[in-house]
Structure 1
Amino acid sequence: MAKEGREIASSAAAAVVPLLRPPPQRKGSYARCLSHAGDELKSFRTCLRWMCVDHSDTLRSAVSWSMFFFLSAAVPAADHLLLIPASSPRRRYDAVVQLSLSAAAALAYLSLSGFVRRHGLRRLLLLDRLRRDSDRVRRGYAGQLGRSFRLLAAFVLPCCAAEAAYKAFWWWRWRSAAGGRWPAIGAAAAACVLELASWAYRTAIFFLACVLFRLICHLQILRMHDFAAAFQAETDVAAVLRQHIRIRQQLSVISHRYRGFIVSALLLVTVSQFATLLLTTRPHAQVNIYTAGELALCSLGLVMGMLMCLRSAAKITHKTQAITSHAAAWHACATIDPSDAADDPETHARTNCEEGDGSDSDDEDDEEEEEEERDEDDLDDAKLMPTSYAIASTVSFQKRQALVTYLENNRAGITVFGFVVDRTWLHALFMIEFSLVTWLLGKTIGIS
């Protein structure tokens, strides 16, 4: 009886822990998220803890809020009010820099802390929904979890290195201009370290929110690849329909969670860039690396983070909507030429496979994934076109037509308060921003 009880308890524990890959049995666990202390999210939890965004208990929550107010408010305010003279031309630019970075950090911090507190890290990254996905999706998402840290470092480290070089140049320039008013070496070093820590903290937390959004969108791209493969192997239209409904529900959840962050970040970046443009184009403005170097770094960081979010949202929307055309092609090919596929399905499948080059090997998938990251185009037709119509011909015409009609009238995608974030939406956004820029330039330097 004791042995049977241990076996039942072990099987129950394994059933309630949805992981990308099964972990070893350990004592530590996170009951709320149903995650394991040594699972794939260990690196993310460590990252959140070191970035002081960990609210797992009262003490860590207090430390997190204290570090946020210290590095995002106290240090920038002291830097602006105490270290930069009121007569310095850099003071006006520094106000925009500090306010923009602090506002971006506050937006990202409040969003991340709210997400983790309400949903938990596992549900935030949608890992609780991976149990019904294929092994290919799990492997791809596990690889993207590790790649996210490299992407975060690729954005944050160059920005921090450039800021460190700028601070060294600024302190050296200020020492030459200050003469006898130069502070002690220890005080100057401490002030410089605090400034760099504040800059790194605010930049990293904003990029972390953007990278997490990109990671979640990439999971849907992996699911769309898996969904496209269903046209080649699935004979049950109802199963394909259920899979698409599940993807739509996931996209709706992502849109609802991140719509506030996307709109707020877009407004913040727009206001910051317009303030930058207004300051740099005013009459007698002194624009050089000493006065406006930090302003350029701030603008570059905010714009890159915003573009990452918009590109990820538009990419998953466009790839999701592209399924409709491929489903229509699948239906048309099965309707026009079902007899050839039924007569010799193996030859027909081999011919279409050779023409479409639709190999499913892991090596080619990895190469195509790398190309996909470098290119914003939709999925190539050869990847989504069915390699065999023998299976499709076994499905009745009415069922295929119903599925295509459903896909045409239920195009999923990332939405922001009802507006689908696709390339058309981005083009409209660009035209609005460009119109505002030309209007502002007309008011400042007289462009008509």
Structure 2
Amino acid sequence: MEEEQETLVTISNHKPKSKSNYRIIDALESKSFSWIFIDQSNPWKAALSWLIFFIFTVGLPMLSHIVYQCSTCDDSHQRPFDMIVQLSLSICSTLSFINLSSFARKYGLRRFLFLDKLSDVSAKVRDGYSEQLHRSIKLLCSFIIPCFLADSAYKIWWFISGRNQIPYIYNIYLSHTIACILLLCSWLYRTSLFFLVCVLFKLTCSLQILRLEDFAKVFEKQADVGSILLEHLAIRRTLKIISHRFRAFILSTLILVTVSQFASLLVTLETGSLVNLSTAGELALCSVTLVSGLFICLRSAAKITHKAQSVTSLAAKWHTCATIDSFDDVGLTEETPMANSSDRANYHFAPVDSDLDEGDEDELDNTKLIPVYKDTITYQKRQALVTYFENNRAGITVFGFMLDRSSLHTIFAIEMSLTLWLVNKTISFT
């Protein structure tokens, strides 16, 4: 017997009420991890979670900025951009923690990730979601670990090379070791909070993409307009729920990251500013962290919006294939032609240019012909369904603003214009 591969969803025969066993989610909800980030199940755990948050997000960054400002140090150990770094990370992690606390208190992790709805979808979607969950954990680690290692190298170098200039208490080695560990823990905690929310958003979008790809298969088999409409309404409602949950986070993150980057650009381009790897290295690492998290959110939103809107093109192609096939079989008449139940479309497109890579085609909006069952759905019902898709575009919105590829182009154009304006105001040639 072949060994079965472990997946996220494991059907249990012993617990009929608990249909699924989520190993990674169980780990996140375990006593070892849950109280660190999102456990708000009782007042004691909530108080402990908030206490840790204030220590690592507010207390340690503020204390380190005051104590280790090191204005008397040499040029390599001064920290002229430390305030921007600490404020940027702390504000973004505060926003992330508030959102996580709200999500955990209202929904719980399983319901928030729509794991309770997996029993209503196909096995293919469940297996795909299992893979996406494991990939999301790897993505989270792939961002956090390199940033943590880079910051560790910087802080260890800073404390070791400047040990005689950096303030200490009683014992220089013990004081600097404890301070370095606490500062690294603070950095790790804040970046983990921020990336966790971004990856959770990507994960919820991944499930809906899988549902959309599975939903597109209804056009390749006999189906009823009513069932197609109900399924699309359910997906559209889920996308609206995701938009409402994350819209404040996405908008706030976009504003905060923009302000942080322009403040960084302003202070580094200022005349007489001391910019080198030792003074601005942590600022650059902070910028990479924040921009990467924002990129994950915007890319995930644009991807699922594009997938959702591709359904309109797919439905129009399906309607066109059925209509053309009906007229080819019966001919032009005054009334809408009705075909026999045994008829089925059998068309072939012209050969596609060999220079076109197959990977460039979208899975939902491709050049493949859809097999049509003309007898199943009449022309009027197909036309009504296509009209519905055209006038009810689904996707991720932020307060009514659709996050699609055009929106990303607009955001990029605005950011580039502001950057060039700021550079024009700060840089002068003599």
State the TM-score bracket (shorter-chain normalisation): 0.7 to 0.9
Identity %: 46
**1:54-133 to 2 correspondence within 5 Å?**
54-87=39-72, 90-133=78-121
The answer to whether residue 208 in structure 2 is matched with residue 249 in structure 1 is no
Question: Which protein has the bigger helix share?
Answer: 1
1:404 equivalenced with 2:393 (yes/no): no
Q: Deviations over 1:359-398 (max 9, x none)?
A: xxxxxxxxx9xx7xxx8x743644x845412x24531111
Determine the structure 2 residue equivalent to 1:45: 29
- Give the equivalent residue in structure 1 for 2:325: 337
Give how far 1:138 is off: 1.2
CA-CA distance at 1:428 after TM superposition: 1.2
Out of 403, 406, 409, the position equivalent to 1:424 is 406
Q: How far did 1:446 drift?
A: 3.6
- Shift in CA distance, 75/67, structure 1 to aligned 2, threshold 3 Å: same
In 1: Cα distance, 2:264 partner to 2:170 partner: 30
Opposite residue 388 of structure 1, the aligned amino acid is P
Structure 2 gap ranges (5+) = 1-7, 330-338, 353-357
> 1:128 Cα shift?
2.4
Alignment-derived partner of residue 22 in structure 1: 11
CA contact (8 A) 1:54 1:61 kept: yes
For residues 439 and 181 of structure 1, what CA distance do their matches in structure 2 show? 46
Give runs of aligned pairs for residues 378-417 of structure 1, distance below 5 A: 378-379=362-363, 381-382=365-366, 385=368, 387-389=370-372, 391-417=373-399
Aligned twin of 1:6: none
Query: Is this contact kept in 2: 1:413–1:421, CA < 8 A?
Result: yes
In 2, the alpha carbon distance for the partners of 1:122 and 1:45 equals: 9
Letter in 2 for 1:404: V
Q: TM-score w.r.t. structure 2 length?
A: 0.86
Aligned length: 403
After superposition, the C-alpha distances for 1:90-126 in whole angstroms (9 at most, x for unaligned) are 4330000001101111000000110110111122111
> What is the CA–CA distance in structure 2 between the aligned matches of 1:179 and 1:425, rounded to whole Å?
49
Provide, for residues 59-100 of structure 1, a one-character-per-residue CA deviation record: whole Å limited to 9, x for no partner.
211110110000111111121111232345643300000011
Match of residue 346, structure 2, among 334, 340, 348: 348
The 3 A distance-change label for structure 1 pair 246 and 37 is closer
Q: Distance in 2 between matches of 1:443 and 1:276?
A: 15
Residue in structure 1 matched with residue 272 of structure 2 by the alignment: 284
- 1:27-74 CA distance string (max 9 Å, x none): 9x9xxxx88786662133248526333212222111101100001111
Which residue of 2 is the match for residue 16 of structure 1? Answer: none
8 Å CA contact 2:212–2:307 kept in 1: the answer is: yes
C-alpha separation between the residues in 1 aligned to 2:67 and 2:152? 19
Contact 1:52–1:64, Cα closer than 8 Å, also in 2: yes
In the superposition, the TM-score normalised over structure 1's length comes to 0.82
Match of 1:15 in 2: none
Deviation at 1:256, TM superposition (A): 0.6
The 1:20/1:445 distance shift into structure 2, 3 A limit, reads same
1:131, distance to aligned residue in structure 2 (A): 2.5
- Measured in 2, the distance between the counterparts of 1:446 and 1:348 equals 68
CA displacement, residues 417-440 of structure 1 (integer Å, 9 cap, x when unaligned):
011001111111112111211221
1:307 to 295, 314, 322: 295
